[in-house]
Amino acid sequence: MYKLLQGYLKRPALYERTNSAFWTDPYIAGQMLKAHLDPDSDAASYRHAFIDKAVEWMASLPLPKNTRLLDIGCGPGLYTKQFSERGLHVTGMDFSENSIQYAIEHDSASEYILGDYLTMAFKEAYDIVTFIMCDYGALIPDERRILLNRVHRALMPGGLFLFDVLTPLWSKGRQDNGSWEMTTGNGFWSAKPYICMNANYDYGQAAECRRHVIMDENEVRSYNIWDCFFTVQSLLDEVTPFGFSNEGVFGDITGKPYTDESQRLCVILRKNR
pLDDT digits (tens, 9 = 90+) for 40-67: 999 999 999 999 999 999 999 999 999 9
In sequence order, which residues have a C-beta less than 8 Å from that of residue 78 and are 6 or more positions away? 36, 45, 48, 51
Query: Distance between CA atoms of 8 and 47, rounded to whole angstroms?
Result: 33
Query: Distance between CA atoms of 212 and 172, rounded to whole angstroms?
Result: 22
Residue 210: give the domain boundaries. Answer: 2-22+170-227
Looking at the structure, tell me whether residues 100 and 174 fall in a common domain: no
* Long-range residue pairs from 192-199, CB within 8 A, at least 24 positions apart, any chain: 192/216, 192/217, 192/218, 193/217, 197/5, 197/8, 197/9, 199/9
Looking at the structure, tell me whether residues 115 and 48 fall in a common domain: yes
Q: How many structural domains is the chain composed of? A: 2
CB count in 10 Å sphere of residue 104: 16
Amino acid in the structure at residue 137: G
Nearest to 129 by CA among 65, 68, 78: 68
- Given a cut of 80, whether residue 1 has pLDDT beyond it is no
Looking at the structure, tell me whether residues 204 and 243 fall in a common domain: no
Nearest to 147 by CA among 116, 182, 123, 174: 116
Amino acid in the structure at residue 150: R
From 192, 212, 227, the end of a domain falls on: 227
Looking at the structure, tell me whether residues 219 and 129 fall in a common domain: no
CA 43 distance to own-chain centroid = 11
Amino acid in the structure at residue 225: I
Looking at the structure, tell me whether residues 201 and 263 fall in a common domain: no
Looking at the structure, tell me whether residues 120 and 186 fall in a common domain: no
Residue 249, domain CATH: 3.40.50.150
Looking at the structure, tell me whether residues 65 and 148 fall in a common domain: yes
Query: Distance between CA atoms of 215 and 231, rounded to whole angstroms?
Result: 37
pTM: 0.96
- Given a cut of 80, whether residue 240 has pLDDT beyond it is yes
- 132 in a domain, yes or no? yes
- Given a cut of 80, whether residue 5 has pLDDT beyond it is no
Looking at the structure, tell me whether residues 213 and 139 fall in a common domain: no
Looking at the structure, tell me whether residues 190 and 92 fall in a common domain: no
Looking at the structure, tell me whether residues 44 and 141 fall in a common domain: yes
Query: Distance between CA atoms of 143 and 18, rounded to whole angstroms?
Result: 14
User: Which class for 128: exposed (0-12), middle (13-18), buried (19 or more C-beta within 10 A)?
Assistant: buried
Q: ∠ CA 70-103-250 to the nearest 5 degrees?
A: 45
Question: pLDDT tens digits for 142-188?
Answer: 999 999 999 999 999 999 999 999 999 999 988 999 999 999 999 99
- 57 in a domain, yes or no? yes
- 33 in a domain, yes or no? no
Looking at the structure, tell me whether residues 218 and 235 fall in a common domain: no
Please tell me the predicted confidence (pLDDT) of residue 3: 80
